[in-house]
Structure 1
Amino acid sequence: MTGDISSSLWHHSCAETVSTPALADAVDCDLAVIGGGYTGLSAALHGAEAGASVCLIEADSFGSGGSGRNVGLANAGLWLPPEEINDHLGDAAGQRLSGLLARGPDLVFSLIARHKIACEPVQNGTLHCAHAPSGMKDLENRHAQLRAIGAPVSLLGREEAVARVGSERVYGALFDPRAGTIQPLAYAKGLARAALAAGAHLYEKTPANGIARDGNRWLVTTPQGRIMARRLLVATGGYARAMDGLATPEIVPVHYFQAATDPMDPAAQACILPGREGCWDTALVMSSWRLDQAGRLIIGAMGQLGHIGSFAHETWLRRKVTRMFPALAEVPLRQTWHGRIAMTTEHLPKVLCPDPSLMVCFGYSGRGISPGTLFGKHIAEALLNDTPDALPVPPVKVHRLPFAGLRGAYYETGATLTHLVKDRF
């Protein structure tokens, strides 16, 4: 088992293809973007559509970081419920952010439709499932808060949740009809294709070696080229690389691993997630499950593969599938992979703005698809039009996260110990 993206189902089933050369000369532009994930690609697309000259560089390939490794749930919010968002940001800023995020899935699915992105889009909602009877208290609280801001969510009892999921191991669910599922790597590559078609200049295999102020412009140096830009966005998320002239954003590195079964037979598909909703649970060490277009079950949880304790995650996967879906007990798990989540202490995205013409965005804490697409769009607008009020969250000049590495180790240790003992009969 490996965390390399080439081992993932998304790599093998991606229907979108896009490839660009490395930057090998000097480029002048209105907006430079470092990072080819959802945020950077959305910013490039929307900036180019607004008439700006845009240059985006990606150190590896488009979507090769967290964007192309995740579960593929396009959610209408963050991990935090609305009242907790307000507690951190204040009522006005919190309500604005929740309002924008509520429309996030519609932005994603409208881009998919407009640009004909082949990423298996299914906007049939998501189910946040109670992993135990005690989990219903959390769902009831979230339901009340979301309904208070007008979200069309509904609380399902055990019987309906069992029918929707196809498992006796759920005890209720919060259904959000606004959300859905996509093939996450294909969506990223589709955004890249759309940005190219809109006139943006995109370059793969082009890491940023450093950035520096050069008069009223930003100079971005790469191994073989350079970019001069009026405005600069750094959107490298949990896969940031060190570069001269800019400190690497401090995040808690949390990992999430997944595995995919073979396609299920028609009888199993008729019983397991027949509505094709994406799911995750209320457990402290959460897990998720969903189907893809071919009827494979993709199941995962917090944890990193490839280290000495990862056997706990690997053996848990088989137990989890067998316990949740006994009919799949003998179905092989073919692809297994993991990705890195850029988490912040408050579980809120950050926009650092050390200079009015430079923004650094990160910290979706596992909710990258809709928020990343939304933030990329609004950041491009804010930078190009000098309108920081267009940002989804108030920008900050500095961000400190003491002992980030130790916090990440704490999460991984907790996930490993949990998976050693969880879901045993």
Structure 2
Amino acid sequence: MKNDLTSHGLWALTAPPAPDTAPLLGDTVVDVIVIGGGYTGLSSALHLAEGGARVALLEASEIGFGGSGRNVGLVNAGMWVMPDTLTDTLGPPFGERLVEQLGRGPQKVFELIEKHGIDCEVERAGTLHCAVGRRGLQEIEARAEQWQKRGAPVVMLDAEETRRRIGGGDYTGALLDRRAGTIQPLAYVRGLAGAALAAGVRIFTQSEVFTAQDTGSRWRIGTRSGSVDAEWVIVATDAYGKGPWSEVRQEQVHLPYFNFATRILPDDLKTSILPERQGAWDTREVLSSFRFDRTGRLVFGSVGALDGIGASVHQAWAIRSLRKLFPGLRHVEFETGWFGMIGMTSDNLPRFHKLDRKVITFSGYNGRGIAPGTVFGGVLASYVLGQIAEHDLPLPVTAVEQQRFRVPREAFYTAGSQLVHLMESWL
């Protein structure tokens, strides 16, 4: 994407082409303006158009340019925080409502993929949250118990069964979530764009928003080469936000995350590693994640940025880690490597903001963007269309919270991940 493989790596090489779009030229009038061409923006636009609204979507770069086109591709239920923590933090009625809606998040994603025939390498074998040591095992046991009491199809695996499902490693156990799965994330977001266009959404790429004027009854949103007037504005820029409502970005601390993809593995390794094709990640504070793509490339990732010295440090660590995890993988060659930013809020929970009159946003996915972004897009559409009221939302309205020491904390995460991986490479 933009001739930079470190931005989208394997996903840019293997995703179907994005649908044809062009920059906004001239002035137009619609019912709703959506800013941002990721999961939330495109889900919002699609559901709005299907509800009868006239919609224009403005994307500063390309479809899926932000986190939607760079992530690992794990379609997980819920958030990083445990269900009970989420409900305790939000309280009634929002807590259990959010847990319930995000628990069904993967199902919503898979239903949209099937409905619109999106070619995005869907694997519905579940995901594995792998425990490191006794503390990690206690963590996933608590998570499993909290989901099971809500009727979720999650099961605990012992160390032996975990090793069989992974094909290696020395994990003390794993939580298998049968609701979840994996997709090709850039292919999915491009497929959503195609579905939105077919529903009547007008999508304008290379159309960064510079101005926003409240004319009293409508908003006039200006780009470099045109403007759109609408009654409602949905801001769906999340961690990559700029422009008039950049406070959405300022509320989040950026955590860099990278992925490497191997060359297509030999048949014996493709059948012995992750034989049932679950996606996996572990409980380490500087975690690792791994999964296969459709062709048999192993995608392996962790916290860190692939720029400057980080590129060589993280690659050396990844090679060593893969060899340790899978002893049969003696010769590791990476075909591509890429990275992006995860937006982290102060309590690791998403936010619903009214940024101005009839200007709304969901943001702060904290590394869980695929299912929540898809779900929240539908919720925003229902709210704008008048199908649900404010008290029916899964999150309360809150004011934007400025993160303290945001810039130094971001520098710490980048440098800290390099230090951790450098030290682990020497062990």
Q: Same fold (TM over 0.5)?
A: yes
Please classify the TM superposition score into its range, dividing by the shorter chain length. Answer: over 0.9
Aligned match of 1:178: 179
SS in 2 for 1:155: strand
8 Å Cα contact 1:124/1:275 also seen in 2: yes
Deviation at 1:3, TM superposition (A): 7.4
Aligned match of 1:151: 152
Q: Which runs of 5+ in 1 are unaligned?
A: none
Aligned match of 2:62: 61
CA distance in 2, matches of 1:392, 1:91: 10
Give the TM-score taking structure 2 as reference length: 0.95
8 Å Cα contact 1:252/1:408 also seen in 2: yes
For residues 281-317 of structure 1, the C-alpha deviation after alignment (integer angstroms, 9 at most, x for no partner) is 0001011000010011000001111133443212111
Deviation at 1:246, TM superposition (A): 5.7
CA distance in 2, matches of 1:306, 1:314: 11
Q: Greater CA deviation, 243-252 or 161-170?
A: 243-252
Q: Greater CA deviation, 327-336 or 274-283?
A: 327-336
Aligned match of 1:341: 342
Deviation at 1:407, TM superposition (A): 2.0
Match of 1:402 among 387, 404, 425: 404
Structure 1 residues 148 and 415, CA gap change in structure 2 (3 angstroms): same
- Give the total of aligned pairs: 423
For residues 107-164 of structure 1, the C-alpha deviation after alignment (integer angstroms, 9 at most, x for no partner) is 1001101101010011110000012343101111111111122211101000000000
Amino acid in structure 1 at the alignment position of 2:406: A
8 Å Cα contact 1:3/1:336 also seen in 2: no
Aligned match of 1:115: 116
Aligned match of 2:393: 391
8 Å Cα contact 1:16/1:117 also seen in 2: no
For residues 49-69 of structure 1, the C-alpha deviation after alignment (integer angstroms, 9 at most, x for no partner) is 001000001011100111000
Alignment of 1:246-325 (within 5 A): 247-250=247-250, 251-325=252-326
* Structure 1 ranges of 4+ moved more than 4 A: 2-7
CA distance in 2, matches of 1:170, 1:302: 20
Give the TM-score taking structure 1 as reference length: 0.96
Deviation at 1:249, TM superposition (A): 3.3
8 Å Cα contact 1:232/1:359 also seen in 2: yes
For residues 377-408 of structure 1, the C-alpha deviation after alignment (integer angstroms, 9 at most, x for no partner) is 10111123172234321121332222222222
Amino acid in structure 2 at the alignment position of 1:401: Q
CA distance in 2, matches of 1:137, 1:248: 35
CA distance in 1, matches of 2:199, 2:295: 31
Amino acid in structure 1 at the alignment position of 2:380: I
8 Å Cα contact 2:255/2:341 also seen in 1: yes
Alignment of 1:354-369 (within 5 A): 354-369=355-370
8 Å Cα contact 2:132/2:282 also seen in 1: yes
CA distance in 2, matches of 1:206, 1:419: 38
Aligned match of 1:72: 73
SS in 2 for 1:223: coil
CA distance in 2, matches of 1:64, 1:78: 23
CA distance in 2, matches of 1:410, 1:149: 37
Amino acid in structure 2 at the alignment position of 1:88: T
SS in 1 for 2:291: strand
Structure 1 residues 27 and 97, CA gap change in structure 2 (3 angstroms): same
Deviation at 1:329, TM superposition (A): 2.5
SS in 2 for 1:59: coil
CA distance in 2, matches of 1:12, 1:188: 15
Q: Greater CA deviation, 295-304 or 399-408?
A: 399-408
For residues 300-347 of structure 1, the C-alpha deviation after alignment (integer angstroms, 9 at most, x for no partner) is 001111133443212111111111112222131110000111110111
Aligned match of 1:128: 129
Deviation at 1:16, TM superposition (A): 4.4
Q: Which runs of 5+ in 2 are unaligned?
A: none
Aligned match of 1:415: 417
Q: Greater CA deviation, 191-200 or 353-362?
A: 353-362
CA distance in 2, matches of 1:175, 1:295: 22
Deviation at 1:263, TM superposition (A): 1.1
Aligned match of 1:105: 106
8 Å Cα contact 1:379/1:390 also seen in 2: no
Deviation at 1:423, TM superposition (A): 5.3
SS in 1 for 2:31: strand
Structure 1 residues 259 and 67, CA gap change in structure 2 (3 angstroms): same
Q: Greater CA deviation, 300-309 or 183-192?
A: 300-309
Aligned-residue Cα RMSD (Å) equals 1.7
Amino acid in structure 2 at the alignment position of 1:94: G
Aligned match of 1:46: 47
Percentage of matched positions with identical amino acids: 42
8 Å Cα contact 1:74/1:180 also seen in 2: yes
CA distance in 1, matches of 2:110, 2:326: 30
8 Å Cα contact 1:231/1:384 also seen in 2: no
Amino acid in structure 1 at the alignment position of 2:327: P
Amino acid in structure 1 at the alignment position of 2:212: I
Deviation at 1:248, TM superposition (A): 4.8
For residues 189-224 of structure 1, the C-alpha deviation after alignment (integer angstroms, 9 at most, x for no partner) is 000000000011101111001212111111100000
For residues 234-268 of structure 1, the C-alpha deviation after alignment (integer angstroms, 9 at most, x for no partner) is 11111112x24664532101110000011112211
CA distance in 1, matches of 2:20, 2:4: 22
Amino acid in structure 2 at the alignment position of 1:28: V
CA distance in 1, matches of 2:47, 2:268: 43
